[in-house]
Amino acid sequence: MSTPARKRLMRDFKRLQQQDPPAGISGAPQDNNIMLWNAVIFGPDDTPWDGGTFKLSLQFSEDYPNKPPTGRFVSFSRMFHPNIYADGSICLDILQNQWSPIYDVAAILIYVEMLLISSARMFSESKREYNRRFREVVEQSWTAD
């Protein structure tokens, strides 16, 4: 069945595949389910996340693009980040009260990547401990499914 949400997601997927994909991100629908996407964000260079491979899922509803998807990191059970809950759920304005139908899948993934980048600046007072915790998360990402 081809609904407006499914048509939009197909367009988002084609745009993500055909145009120059944004550096450091990748995403595609799961087999036979355009409403559930798997994505990867590669740890941004020159941040404590550098070298990591972070998997997440995006679940869309039939109300997309009028309503945002839900996003969740699935790489491993615990991300060390002030905007990522213990279950991997992502606390990001554009996925909640600042959502706009102009955002597509690429924009969502870019915002999540920016969330990782900005977090590295948040705790400058305790940089050594913060970086140690980041490194643990990066190393876990190498072996997690």
Q: Any idea which residue has 């643990």 for tokens? A: 136
Q: Tell me if 116 sits within 8 A of 43, measured CB to CB.
A: yes
How far is it, in rounded angstroms, from Cα 23 to Cα 107? 12
Q: Which residues of 118-133 are buried (b: 16+ CB within 10 A; e: fewer)?
A: ebbeeeeeeeeebeee
Q: How do residues 126-138 score in pLDDT, each as one tens digit?
A: 677 777 777 787 8
Just list the catalytic residues: 91
Helix (H, G, I), strand (E, B) or coil at 107: helix
Q: How do residues 47-83 score in pLDDT, each as one tens digit?
A: 778 888 999 999 999 999 999 999 999 975 567 777 8
Domains defined along the chain, listed by start:
4-143 (3.10.110.10)
pTM given for the model? 0.81
